[in-house]
Amino acid sequence: MRISRVSAIVAAAALIAVVTGCAGGSGSSGSKTVNWWTWDDKQAAAYKTCATAFEKANPGVTVDISQYNVDDYFTKLTAGFVAGDAPDAFQNSAQFFQSYASLHQLQPLDDYIKADKFDLSRFSVGVNQWKYSDGQQYGLPLDWSAAGTYFNQTALTKAGYSAADVSKLNWNPDNGGTLGKMIAHLTIDDKGRRGDQPGFDKNHVKTYGFGEMAAKDFTGQTTWSPLLSSTGWRQGNTTMWPTRFNYDDPRFVKTMDWIRSLEDKGYIPKIGAFSDSVSDVELLSSGKVAMEIGGSWEATTFAKIPNLKVGIAATPYGPDGKTRSVASGSNGNNIWAGSKNKDLAWKWISYMGSEKCQTMASASGSFFPSISASMTAETNTFAKQGIDLSVFNDMLKDKTLYQGPVYANGQAVQSATEPLFEAYFAHQKNDDVFASMAEQTKSLLAAKNQ
């Protein structure tokens, strides 16, 4: 699941450094209750099915699952580290992995993995993402995410396109390719004129041909990244712990220019055109956009929009007409280093990392499991309901996916780059801003616990 905005942990991080090693721990030693936290209400409900089975297999053991809104989750978690009452285990985002690991708040799992002969190869995605720079494994993959193309089938049919046309789309930053042509034709003003027709009024758009691409999000996970990655561009100069982000790469600059041109022509919404509280699903269902890139975690929600047939396709091919490329991330399960109940916490998260549990939990369709066999089971389950998730399942097999970077100080990078992206797309800054951004990331990625 994407973490679009999270609360800063700057003040609490300083306190953690002081109290590390002094925390009392969650629960008492030998407790038979394991506390697990998540920010995702859907995953909280989904994993309760596993908790029930786990408790049945371990008489006397209780799994206490708590869910907190993402805007409060990381601040509350960090406060728990400081106070000594953090959960035994918890769902974590890669954005905060470096900060928590460097402050010694995460328990290394290597000894547990070795003792139980726990096979990490069962996971198709995410293992390396949870290995810290000290070489130790601190997390087990909990899920995985990617991006796909979602479209209003009725809008496409009226425009003379088919689902097959979407699956064959290509793009390039020079003229947009077939994707650029489709976006223009799908855009409609309040007089019914299409974006590629005479008289189109870009100031009074009824339906945008595509959703937001001019994003302030510094990773572009569900906006520009799946397009840009198909050119061979990668965000970091290395996958693990990059020392700079490649915002000054000519491919990046050229792509941003093309995206801004779509915004200028009225084919895609400008930043701020819709409230941050309006979801991708709501935009498509309301007819505000005809097609968009969205997260894999939204697939079943898109497919279940009432009275609207939504198609799901892979992201477009790149300039060579052959390459699709989508960054994949994985939220992970960590054990708090201050817990007095680490053995039971390991037993619980290792069970969550079993094919049995991931298959049970993912039957809800609220997330994609990191275990390939469980992903196939979920795909088959939803196929029977008329929901085709095969596009995403195929990504695990055809090398469309690549691991997104694991980086330090994500909150600091986000805070520094967001206003610059916004200024660029508002024409307050020009292409030279990207060289400045790339240089700025060098110091931010090198610093600790920003």
Q: Summarize pLDDT for 81-95 with one digit per residue, the tens.
A: 999 999 999 999 988
CATH assignment of 147-328+407-446, among 3.80.30.20, 3.40.190.10, 3.40.50.720, 1.10.8.60: 3.40.190.10
d(CA 167, CA 162): 9
Q: What is the mean pLDDT of the chain?
A: 91
Cα 203 to Cα 20: distance, rounded to the nearest angstrom: 56
Where in the chain is CATH 3.40.190.10?
10-144+331-370, 147-328+407-446
Work out the pLDDT band at 30, boundaries 50, 70, 90.
low
The three-state DSSP-derived secondary structure of 105-171 is: CECCCHHHHHHHCCCHHHECCCCHHHECCCCCECCEECCEECEEEEEEHHHHHHCCCCHHHHHCCEC
**What pLDDT does 428 receive?**
97
**What number is the average pLDDT over the span 310-317?**
96
Q: What is the pTM of this model?
A: 0.87
**pLDDT band at residue 26 under the 50/70/90 scheme:** low
Mean pLDDT of 185-211: 98
What pLDDT, on a 0 to 100 scale, did the predictor assign at position 29? 55
Report pLDDT for 24: 46
98 pLDDT band, cuts 50/70/90, is: confident
Dihedral sign of CA atoms 29, 102, 222, 384 in order:
negative
Would you identify the CATH topology of the domain 10-144+331-370? Answer: D-Maltodextrin-Binding Protein; domain 2 (3.40.190)
Distance between CA atoms of residues 39 and 90, nearest Å = 9
Lowest-confidence pick of 2-11, 49-58, 363-372: 2-11
Instruction: Give the pLDDT confidence score for residue 1 in this predicted structure.
Output: 45
Cα of first residue to Cα of last residue in the chain, in angstroms, is 23
